[in-house]
Amino acid sequence: MFGLPKRLTILPLFLLGLLAANATAQDPPSEESINYFRTNCASCHTIGGGRLTGPDLKGLAERKDREWLVKFLLDPKATLDAGDPYGQKLLSDARGVYMPPVAGMNKELANKLLNLIDAESALEKSKFSGFQISERPLTDLDIATGKALFNGQKALQEGGPACISCHTLSGLSGLGGGLLGPDLSGAYSRLEGRKALGAWLSSPPSVVMQPLYTNSPLDSEEVLALVAYLKATAGTGELEAESTSLEFTLAGIALAAGLMVLFDILWRKRFRSVRRTLLAQR
Ligand code: HEC
Ligand code: HEC
């Protein structure tokens, strides 16, 4: 009974949809490109929230043509090294830091991301206007909280693993911290202070950390505390190893996991070649 009216309403909608898709080359940004930008770009770029390691991308289309930008995304270094004044200015504003090449980048993806940047630039407040880390002065309490979070004495709210299972800070000697990740003593200065380190931690662009913290992200207070701790300990080497059994266990687990992966890679080949040799002898 409802068959006819239903079809009548769906058909025009369908046609309208087709028309809209054809009329605008720019489809609304898909969930996919939004997620892609969040995990691969947002750690260095805001859209309307000021510069991090890379420039603020708001209004990008007004300052540079699409063709150049696509070329840049496909190969940042080669494009900058071509030496045009625009590229030279970007590079010197970034104090000589080159944007890393983006794995799997192609023309289509580049255009999708640039469409997304244009769409977000047109909004009053982009969802990429930056991770807003508080500007308030860091206190001793922040540092103590950061230390407890780092060491796993205080659990992370969303259940992410404690940093110490993979990281050490110089001064945490030997088994005081995990070895899978780099020593973080210099992270505060390397990642250029509170804002950039905060953005880094809020969505770590690390192949190892990303899967662990995407679904259990650090909240902004936790990020602030960890930043305070990393700042307080930056380069001082003053961190004492507090080899509680928990730290010891976590470091052990991380080490074991790392070794297992390594052994697997090293030995897989050997077993195969031994087997091949045995087979060949028959
Ligand atoms: C590790 C930091 C980093 C990451 C990650 C990063 N960029 Fe960049 N980006 C930079 C820097 C630095 C520059 C400035 C040019 C240079 O020095 O290489 C830049 C420049 C740009 C520009 C040109 C900006 C302008 O004002 O003309 C665009 C567009 C851009 N990046 C897009 C992206 C996109 C899209 C992603 C994710 C796929 C991304 N970037 C990931 C650091 C980064
Ligand atoms: C499962 C192991 C693991 C855990 C847990 C982990 N990290 Fe990492 N982290 C790494 C690895 C590995 C790297 C190096 C980047 C890469 O290769 O992916 C890294 C890199 C970093 C960097 C960048 C260092 C630099 O100088 O570029 C910072 C900052 C950092 N981690 C902070 C933290 C903090 C804070 C925590 C706790 C909330 C944490 N990490 C938890 C493995 C881990």
Q: Which of 142, 167, 212, 259 for a ligand 2 pocket mutation test, highest count of atoms within 8 Å of Cβ?
A: 167
Q: How many CB atoms lie within 10 A of CB 24?
A: 9
Distance CA 268, CA 273 (A): 9
Ligand 1 neighbours, Cβ below 6 Å, are 40-41, 43-45, 53-55, 57, 60, 64, 69, 72-73, 76, 80, 90-91, 94, 97-100, 102, 113, 205
| List of residues 6+ apart from 135 with CB closer than 8 A | none
Ligand 2 neighbours, Cβ below 6 Å, are 161, 163, 165-167, 180-182, 184, 187, 190, 200-201, 206-209, 212, 218, 226
CA 176 to chain centre: 26
Q: What is the dihedral of CA 40, 234, 165, 264, to 10 degrees?
A: 60
Going by C-alpha positions, the residue among 79, 210, 229, 82 that lies closest to residue 142 is 229
**pLDDT tens-place values along the chain, 282 residues long:** 444 444 444 444 444 444 444 334 456 788 889 989 988 898 889 999 888 889 999 999 999 999 999 999 999 999 999 999 999 999 999 989 899 999 889 999 999 999 999 999 999 989 888 767 788 899 999 999 999 999 999 999 999 999 998 988 765 544 467 778 888 888 888 887 888 898 889 888 788 888 888 778 898 899 999 999 999 887 654 443 333 445 555 666 666 676 666 656 555 555 455 445 555 544
